[in-house]
Amino acid sequence: MEDPPAATAHQGKKTRFSIANLESAPKNGAAGYRESDEQEPFLKSATSSSPPPERGVISSGDEEGQEDQEDEDEQELSYKNTVYGTQYMKSLRHYLTRDALPDENHYRNILSFQASPSHQRKFSRPTLEELQEGQLARKLAAAKNGQDADDALAAKGKVIKFGWIEGVFMRCLLNIWGVMLFLRLTWVIGQCGILQGLLVITLCNVVTLITAISMSAVSTNGMIKGGGIYYMISRSLGPEFGGAIGIMFTVANSIAVATYLIGFVDALLDMLEEYIVDFDGILSPIDVRLNDIRWIGTVTLIAVLALAVVGMDWVTRVQIGLLVLLIASQIDFLVGSFLPDESERKFGFSGYSYDTMATNFMTTRYHSYESPDYPPSFFTVFGVFFPAVTGIVAGANLSGDLKNPGVAIPKGTLLAILVTYITYFVYGFIIGSVYIPEASGDEDEYWAAITGNDTIPHYDNCDNRECLFGSSNDQQTLSKISWTGYLVYAGCFAATLSSAIASLVGAPRVLQALARDKLYPVIGFFGQGYGANDDPFRGYILVFIIAFACTMIGSLDVVSSLLSNFFVAAYALINFSVFHATVTKSPGWRPSFKYYNHWVSLFGTLLCVAVMFLMSWVTALITFAIIAILYFYISYRKPEANWGSSTQAQKFVSTLKNVQALNEMQEHVKNYRPKILVLSGIPAHRGPLMDFANLLTKKLSLLISGHVAGPDASLRSMENMRETVQMWMKDHSIKAFFSVTQNESFEEGAKAIMNLAGLGKLSPNMILMGFKQNWAKDLPGTEAYFNVIHHGFDLHLALGILRLPKGCDYSSVIGEEQQVTVEVPDETPEPVEAPKAEPQKKEKRTRKVSTAVYHGADGKPLAKNIVNEITLFQHKKSKAGVIDVWWLYDDGGLTLLLPYILTTRAQYSECKLRVFALANRQDELDRQTRNMAGLLAKFRIDYSDVIVVPDVTKKANEETKAEFMAMIENCNIPDSEILAQREKTNRHLRLAELLRDNSLRSDMVVMTLPMPRRGASTSALYMSWLDIMTKNMPPFLFVRGNQTSVLTFYS
């Protein structure tokens, strides 16, 4: 054999595949390593073009130079900061494999709602089929030519991303150093004393520290996107909890904007009243303030909105300025504590004093002049102060604007908690050392105390009178301690404005993420983002409107505790998500932040719940009620959200444990329930059959739909089939599983499904089939059908055969626009169609199926009568009727149990049971009737009548015989078999006559299935018996139990 042209220069020479060979290798590599010409590298590194090297030692064996013009050598491979020069080397993929090398992009969440189709094409590894068959060209061409829409958007404008300092640390400081620092810290020390006051501060920070640790664990368990705490909870605990917290968090932050602005205006008016003589408000008197709050608050709100619209860059700049102002006010307080003003001493400002510290250290003064009958307690003070430390999620709420949320959130939040705890702790100790709890503010009383004059009360003696000053009474204590006083007001302004800005910026981002997840039907409008930073301008407007409306109210004291409860509820769920994710032992729970403990997180959950009730038990109950309502609403809507939450993992673990426990449990007749395998093919083709099976198992037992696909069905087509069927079942409210297998033969495929369906004790104990309408015209198919019946009995399974007046199969009626082509091995060998899943509808899904759902082959809606046939078992309105039960043979009681189950359903709830039985002896009809009635009574089954049939052995009418002979005329049944089975045939013909006489107008007929004896009768003769008995009858169910009792009259 002649060598290829390119290898002639080295005939007879063996060449080792080495680096030296590799450097001189031709464009397409060595023979045996070359891929298809039209394939592109699946992973491309940074390359630069150069002329192809001359053909060298190793040849590809292809036409000269043809592939040399199709690919360029990859000049260098770059990863991070390392560059490898490979100007004479092909990529590894060209020589070794079609596989993609490990790449971060392959593990991105391409199922996210934000992922574009081009992103999915561009950054996806090859499938098994593509690797096996080498069919990569089309996919790679699409990836090469399709510009990622997300990248194109990102290229427009400047993307602003923040690090951990300006993105998290600074924002948490601004929110934790809030207005409570200036107004409530002194009150805490005045009420509790130094020791208990510092204990309050410590306990509050313990709660936030545990929560921050839990939040750090969640935020480092994978890449998080925009949405902050909502995103974390929804991806950890699922859409139900996440959606509830998301909407509450958005509303709470929107109202909080107005709360902070009202606080800002109040502080501004207090300052003007203090420093401007005879100041009596701007638009209204100072003691009313309502109009002043409205117009100043509105102007400030517009300014905050404008700042947010300008962009996060300017928001950060302004907040840096506010942080500087806040720090300056604290420095002013520290300096002032060393420089007490003599004029302030009468208000209780003693300066650093051991006596003051000793007095405040252990002494508590839990009282309130406003509510003397309900004085505060330690836990009351704790509940009042706790909102001061609830700003720990200010940075996390901007998770989508952080460069690296997994690093920024833990580092920034934990450091902010440490810094603010130290400052609160130190400031609390300072206040207790320089300020007495109560003082009258009277200068004469002060000097009387200094000089020891006891003729008048001392300024610090407030036991029997109301004192307005001192750390426990005066909210302006901090301004009296400060050096200038002005800077404390400035700090108060900075605290309120920074919190308002953070809330107005954070709430729309949570709303945007919530809208994009499509958990609620109305808010999708707010999912739109604008600009390179995806700013939620629509959300800004909504939050502005809510905040404006609340500002017009002028006072939000009533809802402030409710807002705090909303935030603490979110903290509780953050802690619980860590505990839950850990105990479910999901392999996907691998946070890079290791300094957490799930038991500590559970303790944090309980602490948060306790804090909610300490703040206000009424608002805590309201909060839980709102969470429950939103949770169940989302559960009812069942959004298409697959986020790998710990609740999903818990379902798997719980189900696995229950199935394993079920295996260890012995079966008992009282717990029997029909676990049905329906040989339905594509369920939508036999909708009435699936609906009937669902009536028997709905909310009661297991239902599996079995289908035998052709041998040529691909894995992808079968996966699409499963998805289509599950969507169809969901739309029709059918709780069932779908099992599909591949086989050339319907018989062998059905046997395989019957053998393998189920899991342990959670396996079918009954087979349900539709009656084979064309049995006389398809004798080979009838034989397969008959063998399937035998195989079911071989497995000791019960068997049911349902016959409807118009049949169960409507595959030839349903139009193609509702179908996808799949191979269905049924009694007919032709390929049939499977209905497509209906598109997601905005309106609420209902169980009722209308004519708009079903279309004919011409694309027009089906006739109403056909739709009524398809939806026969879907109508919930029941009318008075009769279900006839022909309990001919004792099969264990299944013939009686199934119609009883039907009467418990809405469709047959008004129907009465009539029980027919065969007489054993003609002279014992009365006794047999009484015995049957007594047996039914013991079984506790209501019935309307018991009828014992005495003459089943009577010869059938000639008309019935003629009808039967015409039915089997072309079925090739041997005369010898007809003669041998003449008595049995006569019995079935006689039963057919009795059925027509007694049950022709019944709503449903259930009869014990005649047992097919192996070798005694052919499939055609057996099917003819079933046909003659059910012909022109109402819905008819043949049932045969496995001869094991399914009913008992024992308790």
For 878-910, give the DSSP string: --SEEEEEE--S-SSSHHHHHHHHHHTSGGGTT
More confident residue, 840 or 500: 500
- Residue 94 in this model has a pLDDT that exceeds 60: no
Residues 816 and 900 in one domain: no
Q: Percent of the chain at pLDDT above 70?
A: 79
Distance between CA atoms of residues 874 and 854, nearest Å: 14
Confidence of residue 562 (pLDDT cuts 50, 70, 90): confident
Say if 790 falls within a structural domain.
yes
What lies within 8 Å, CB to CB, of 664 at 6+ separation is: none
Q: Largest Cα–Cα distance in the chain? A: 135
Residue 15 carries which side chain, given as an amino acid letter? T
* pLDDT, tens only, 149-194: 444 444 455 677 889 998 999 999 998 998 888 888 998 998 889 9
* pLDDT, tens only, 58-81: 333 444 444 444 443 433 333 344
Strands 737-742 and 703-709: parallel
| Residues 311 and 458: beta-carbon distance below 8 Å | no
Confidence of residue 373 (pLDDT cuts 50, 70, 90): low
Residues 179 and 76 in one domain: no
Distance between CA atoms of residues 52 and 250, nearest Å: 60
Confidence of residue 717 (pLDDT cuts 50, 70, 90): confident
| Residues 478 and 502: beta-carbon distance below 8 Å | no
The pLDDT score that the predictor gives to residue 691 is: 93
Mean pLDDT of 418-424: 95
Distance between CA atoms of residues 647 and 584, nearest Å: 8
Last residue of a domain, one of 110, 134, 155: 155
Q: Which residues of 154-166 are buried (b: 16+ CB within 10 A; e: fewer)?
A: eeeeeebebebeb
Residue 468 carries which side chain, given as an amino acid letter? L
- Residue 810 in this model has a pLDDT that exceeds 60: yes
Residues 303 and 332 in one domain: yes
| Residues 232 and 215: beta-carbon distance below 8 Å | yes
Residues 176 and 303 in one domain: yes
Say if 70 falls within a structural domain.
yes
What does the angle CA 673 – CA 675 – CA 677 come to, to the nearest 5 degrees? 160
| Residues 59 and 25: beta-carbon distance below 8 Å | no
Q: What share of the chain is helix, strand, coil (3-state, %, to 5)?
A: 55, 10, 40
Residue 643's SS3 state is coil
Say if 657 falls within a structural domain.
no
More confident residue, 693 or 559: 693
| Residues 33 and 95: beta-carbon distance below 8 Å | yes
- Residue 590 in this model has a pLDDT that exceeds 50: yes
Mean pLDDT of 447-458: 72
User: Highest mean pLDDT range out of 6-15, 106-115, 588-597?
Assistant: 588-597
Mean pLDDT of 526-550: 88
Confidence of residue 263 (pLDDT cuts 50, 70, 90): confident
Last residue of a domain, one of 525, 559, 593: 559
User: Highest mean pLDDT range out of 240-249, 483-492, 593-602?
Assistant: 593-602
Residues 140 and 175 in one domain: no
Q: Percent of the chain at pLDDT above 90?
A: 31
What does the angle CA 183 – CA 420 – CA 404 come to, to the nearest 5 degrees? 130
Residues 886 and 865 in one domain: no
What lies within 8 Å, CB to CB, of 733 at 6+ separation is: 847
What lies within 8 Å, CB to CB, of 114 at 6+ separation is: 150, 225, 516
In sequence order, what are the beta bridge partners of 885? 915, 1006
The pLDDT score that the predictor gives to residue 544 is: 94
Say if 310 falls within a structural domain.
yes
Mean pLDDT of 106-131: 58
Say if 548 falls within a structural domain.
yes
- Residue 828 in this model has a pLDDT that exceeds 60: no
Q: Which helix or strand (DSSP H or E) is residue 1007 part of? A: strand 1004-1008
| Residues 688 and 872: beta-carbon distance below 8 Å | yes
The residue range of the domain holding 259 is 164-191+224-436+471-559
Nearest to 946 by CA among 907, 896, 993: 896
Residues 374 and 503 in one domain: yes
The pLDDT score that the predictor gives to residue 36 is: 39
CATH at 393? 1.20.1740.10
Number of domains observed in the structure of the chain? 4
Confidence of residue 87 (pLDDT cuts 50, 70, 90): low
The pLDDT score that the predictor gives to residue 380 is: 83
Owner of token pair 């949320």: 405
CATH at 781? 3.40.50.620
Mean pLDDT of 549-577: 84
Mean pLDDT of 829-846: 38
Confidence of residue 1 (pLDDT cuts 50, 70, 90): very low
- Residue 429 in this model has a pLDDT that exceeds 80: yes
The pLDDT score that the predictor gives to residue 63 is: 41
- Residue 39 in this model has a pLDDT that exceeds 50: no
Say if 597 falls within a structural domain.
no
Last residue of a domain, one of 559, 590, 607: 559
Mean pLDDT of 139-153: 48
More confident residue, 549 or 49: 549
Mean pLDDT of 454-460: 70
Residues 789 and 886 in one domain: no
Residues 372 and 259 in one domain: yes
In sequence order, what are the beta bridge partners of 741? 708
Residue 82's SS3 state is strand
- Residue 739 in this model has a pLDDT that exceeds 70: yes
What does the angle CA 655 – CA 224 – CA 211 come to, to the nearest 5 degrees? 75
* pLDDT, tens only, 988-1037: 999 999 999 999 999 999 999 999 988 888 999 999 999 999 999 999 99
Residues 173 and 135 in one domain: no
- Residue 452 in this model has a pLDDT that exceeds 90: no
Mean pLDDT of 356-375: 72
The pLDDT score that the predictor gives to residue 600 is: 95
The pLDDT score that the predictor gives to residue 752 is: 94
Q: Quick one: DSSP state of residue 167?
A: I
* pLDDT, tens only, 750-796: 999 999 998 888 999 999 999 999 999 999 999 999 999 999 999 99
Q: Quick one: DSSP state of residue 469?
A: B
Residue 122 carries which side chain, given as an amino acid letter? K
End-to-end C-alpha distance for the chain, whole angstroms: 88
Mean pLDDT of 806-835: 53
The pLDDT score that the predictor gives to residue 411 is: 93
Say if 127 falls within a structural domain.
yes
Residues 767 and 847 in one domain: yes
The pLDDT score that the predictor gives to residue 8 is: 38
The pLDDT score that the predictor gives to residue 83 is: 47
Say if 619 falls within a structural domain.
no
Distance between CA atoms of residues 366 and 190, nearest Å: 9
716 exposed, middle or buried (CB, 10 Å; 0-12, 13-18, 19+)? exposed
Distance between CA atoms of residues 838 and 849, nearest Å: 12
- Residue 92 in this model has a pLDDT that exceeds 60: no
Distance between CA atoms of residues 445 and 439, nearest Å: 9
Residue 1044's SS3 state is coil
The pLDDT score that the predictor gives to residue 381 is: 87
- Residue 207 in this model has a pLDDT that exceeds 70: yes
The pLDDT score that the predictor gives to residue 535 is: 84
Owner of token pair 């469709």: 907
- Residue 34 in this model has a pLDDT that exceeds 80: no
Residues 179 and 241 in one domain: yes
